[in-house]
Amino acid sequence: MDHVLISDLKKHLGQKVKLKGWVYNSRSSGKIKFLLLRDGSGLCQSIFFKGECDTNSFENFSELNQETAVVVTGVPREEARSPGGVELGAESFEIISQSVDYPITPKDHGTDFLMNHRHLWLRSKRQHAILRVRAEIVAAIRDFFDGQGFTLTDAPIFTPNACEGTSTLFETQYFDSKAYLSQSGQLYMEATAMALGKVYCFGPTFRAEKSKTRRHLIEFWMVEPEVAFADLKDNMELAEEFLSYVVQRTLKNKAEELKSLERDTSGLEKVKGAFPRIHYNEACEIILKENPKFVTGDDFGGTDETIISSKFDKPVFVHNFPKKIKAFYMKEDHDNSAESLSVDLLATEGYGELIGGGQREDDIQKLLDGIKEHELSEEDFSWYLDLRRYGSVPHSGFGMGLERCVAWVCGLPHVRETIAFPRLYGRNKP
């Protein structure tokens, strides 16, 4: 490479270098012209002084429209007030290609406009910070499980059956038959857990959710660990250890990005150690004090989750949901057959359900009853039932939605900015 990256500029103080990037901003004030350049690795303020820089560059400075691609030559020097603590004493620039009438200007644009220009919106500082936090969380997730003896056994996207209820299935043609886009890799992880003990999958999942909320995407990434010979308690311990690692590592490695997002991280600092655990009935009592319309036995709405989480300064586990509101595979609690060994983990600060999971039903007869009650086809699940025919053991797992985690860690009001190209109800472009 004949140029250096902005992120490496500190290593080249006092040496003449070339930077290649795009114009983020430019302004003039008499004898000084300021060019804020971005190159993907960071932002750099370049200063053109009349008399000190090339005359042509000084005179043609106004050609440097927003997002023009450019090569800038100059000498980096320390400057505490500049991004990254370095500024470039510029000598000259050379335009690689022009950008005329870039649609996203520093003025305020509505969300819809920005979403329509998502392919360009990604060039802004805020989006860089969010995508870098996302990448760090992805790396932390993989490192956690890889480092704990889990084997990555990714699940298929085309599936013959529902995992999380038939109402949110995307149906598609699969040659002469039908297939569905995966809602969760869980059932496949149960199979690979019986083969390899501790496994996980991490990939895109799909839900045809006909609702516009700040927490729902149509296509989202989910990480799903599954462990053989593990019960509900083991599952909660795994989830709290996992989430603590992910959050603390991201706070450490992406402090600068979180600062640029103006994230107050004092709440996230507390996300470690054991998390509080409450029974579903206890959660209902908490909700009823503030939302008397809530009906015990029902699933929680977003506001109900916020009521619960506001009582704790760490994420909180709610376990033992009624069997009838949970998926067919949840294990029945043998002390109370109306309850399931299910668990949700609610994030702090009103971010709602971050993790959902539980112990799986390992009794084939109970599983068959569940399949019938949920009006699912026994034939479609015959392979899954085999897992209970040949050496069935207690096992547990959970799923965490990546985008919910990113929104929470970054403190974003909506999940739409947590993924480069979000798929939302009513939006599949660009």
Kindly list the residues in this chain that would bind ligand 4AD in the complex (CB under 6 A).
163-164, 184, 186, 207, 209, 216-217, 220, 222, 224, 353-357, 397-401, 403-404
Residue 326 or 388 with smaller CB distance to Mg ion:
326
Q: List the single partner that 352 binds among Mg ion, ligand 4AD, none, CB under 5 to 8 Å by kind.
A: none
**Minimum separation from the CB atom of position 338 to Mg ion (A):** 19
Q: List the single partner that 400 binds among Mg ion, ligand 4AD, none, CB under 5 to 8 Å by kind.
A: ligand 4AD
Half-sphere exposure of 10 (CA within 13 A, CB side): 10
**Minimum separation from the CB atom of position 57 to ligand 4AD (A):** 48
**Minimum separation from the CB atom of position 3 to ligand 4AD (A):** 40
**Minimum separation from the CB atom of position 164 to Mg ion (A):** 8
Under 8 Å between Cβ of 276 and 312: yes
Does residue 150 sit in helix, strand or coil? coil
Both structure tokens of 292: 């008397």
The stretch near Mg ion (CB under 5 A) out of 31-39, 131-139, 295-303, 348-356 is 348-356
Cβ neighbours of residue 320 closer than 8 Å, sequence gap 6 or more = 279, 280, 281, 333, 336, 339, 340, 341, 342
> How many other CB atoms sit within 10 Å of the CB of residue 141?
23
Q: List the single partner that 401 binds among ligand 4AD, Mg ion, none, CB under 5 to 8 Å by kind.
A: ligand 4AD
Cβ neighbours of residue 99 closer than 8 Å, sequence gap 6 or more = 22, 23, 65, 66, 67, 68, 69
Residue 225 or 356 with smaller CB distance to Mg ion:
356
Residue 201 or 286 with smaller CB distance to ligand 4AD:
201
Provide the sign of the torsion angle of the four alpha carbons 331, 335, 338, 340, taken in this order: negative
**Minimum separation from the CB atom of position 225 to ligand 4AD (A):** 8
**Minimum separation from the CB atom of position 153 to ligand 4AD (A):** 13
Cis amide bond preceding 422, omega within 30: no
Asked if 399 is part of the footprint of Mg ion (rule: CB under 5 A), the reply reads: no
Does residue 139 sit in helix, strand or coil? helix
CA angle 354, 356, 359 (to 5 degrees): 150
Rounded CA-CA distance 416/214 in Å is: 8
**Minimum separation from the CB atom of position 113 to Mg ion (A):** 33
Q: List the single partner that 361 binds among Mg ion, ligand 4AD, none, CB under 5 to 8 Å by kind.
A: none
**Minimum separation from the CB atom of position 299 to Mg ion (A):** 9
Residue 271 or 354 with smaller CB distance to ligand 4AD:
354
DSSP summary character for residue 206: E
For residue 398, give the nearest of 158, 159, 227 by alpha carbon.
227
Beta partners for 87? 45, 77
Cβ neighbours of residue 411 closer than 8 Å, sequence gap 6 or more = 261, 262, 263, 264, 349
The stretch near Mg ion (CB under 5 A) out of 202-210, 282-290, 323-331, 351-359 is 351-359
Q: List the single partner that 299 binds among Mg ion, ligand 4AD, none, CB under 5 to 8 Å by kind.
A: none
Q: List the single partner that 217 binds among Mg ion, ligand 4AD, none, CB under 5 to 8 Å by kind.
A: ligand 4AD
Residue 61 or 221 with smaller CB distance to ligand 4AD:
221
Sheet architecture: strand order including 171-174 = 158-159, 177-181, 171-174
For residue 398, give the nearest of 309, 317, 335, 279 by alpha carbon.
317
Residue 165 or 267 with smaller CB distance to Mg ion:
165
**Minimum separation from the CB atom of position 209 to Mg ion (A):** 12
Cβ neighbours of residue 247 closer than 8 Å, sequence gap 6 or more = 268, 271, 272, 409
Rounded CA-CA distance 62/64 in Å is: 5
One-letter amino acid for residue 424 of the chain: L
- The residue number whose beta carbon is nearest to Mg ion equals 356
The stretch near Mg ion (CB under 5 A) out of 119-127, 281-289, 320-328, 350-358 is 350-358
Q: List the single partner that 88 binds among Mg ion, ligand 4AD, none, CB under 5 to 8 Å by kind.
A: none
**Minimum separation from the CB atom of position 101 to Mg ion (A):** 45
What are the backbone dihedrals phi and psi of residue 280, each rounded to the nearest 5 degrees, phi first?
-50, -40
Residue 57 or 183 with smaller CB distance to ligand 4AD:
183
User: What is the footprint of Mg ion within residues 353-382 (CB under 5 A)?
Assistant: 356
Binding site for Mg ion (CB under 5 A): 356
